[in-house]
Amino acid sequence: MSSSPVAPRARRARVRMTRAERREQLVDVARALFAERGLEGTSVEEIAIHAQVSKPVVYEHFGGKEGLYAVVVDREVRQLHEAIAGAITRPGTDPRSLIELGTMALLDYIEENTDGFRIISRDSSPYTQGGSYQTILSSIASRVEGLLAAQFSHRGFDPEIAPLYSQMLVGLVALAGQWWVDNRDVTRLAKREVATHLVNLTWNGMRQLNPHPELRLPDGQN
């Protein structure tokens, strides 16, 4: 699903802003442009036009579009990480509820911050300092790994395979979330339904895990 092009704002009398207000305005304008066109497809001139400022103002605040992009991404990364980390670290919560809470936290972020999600899940840039979408997923997987290891040990599974399963679990939810944001206009599935099906697959699938799985490939195939 592609967003509608970002149209320049109508010209009007320039409003005097404090330095902090101008900085926030530039971040908001750039966020929408980066979500629509990506880092490489967005120019300082376009950012300045949409914000109704001169190009030097953008350079003064951020040193260029790369610095502005880094601020946008770092904010989104921090917001998503805090949302999911807060959901899956509640003390005394059973494993299934943690999966539900983590899934809903990701889908809530996608729904409420679609532009931000498009930026951090699509773009990769050396200019960002606070991590990336992959950094977030790796951090979440590390947290899930500890939960799975405890469950595996309790049920007679080898806890050494917990890291692999945590990556699969987090990757499943993340990819499904990305599919949902790209197909919300054509699918009848609402957010809660998507979360329900994700939890259905992950939780019920894990309950039926074989502690000693084997492949059933035809003879002669490795």
pTM: 0.73
pLDDT value of position 126 = 45
pLDDT value of position 64 = 93
111 CA to centre of own chain: 11
> What is the amino acid identity at position 147?
L
Per residue of the chain (222 residues), what is the pLDDT tens digit? 445 456 555 444 456 889 999 999 999 999 999 999 999 999 999 999 999 999 999 999 999 999 999 999 889 888 888 888 888 778 877 878 888 988 899 899 988 998 998 888 875 444 444 456 777 788 778 877 877 787 778 777 888 888 898 888 888 888 898 889 889 889 889 999 999 999 999 888 877 777 788 888 887 676
pLDDT value of position 32 = 95
Q: How far is it, in rounded angstroms, from Cα 194 to Cα 109?
A: 14
Cβ neighbours of residue 215 under 8 Å, at least 6 residues apart? none
Q: How far is it, in rounded angstroms, from Cα 75 to Cα 188?
A: 31
pLDDT value of position 8 = 58
Instruction: Judge contact between 173 and 102, C-beta under 8 A.
Output: yes
**Selection from 159, 173, 200, 6 nearest residue 102 by Cα:** 173
Between vectors from CA 93 to CA 90 and to CA 96, what angle results, nearest 5°? 120
> What is the amino acid identity at position 121?
S
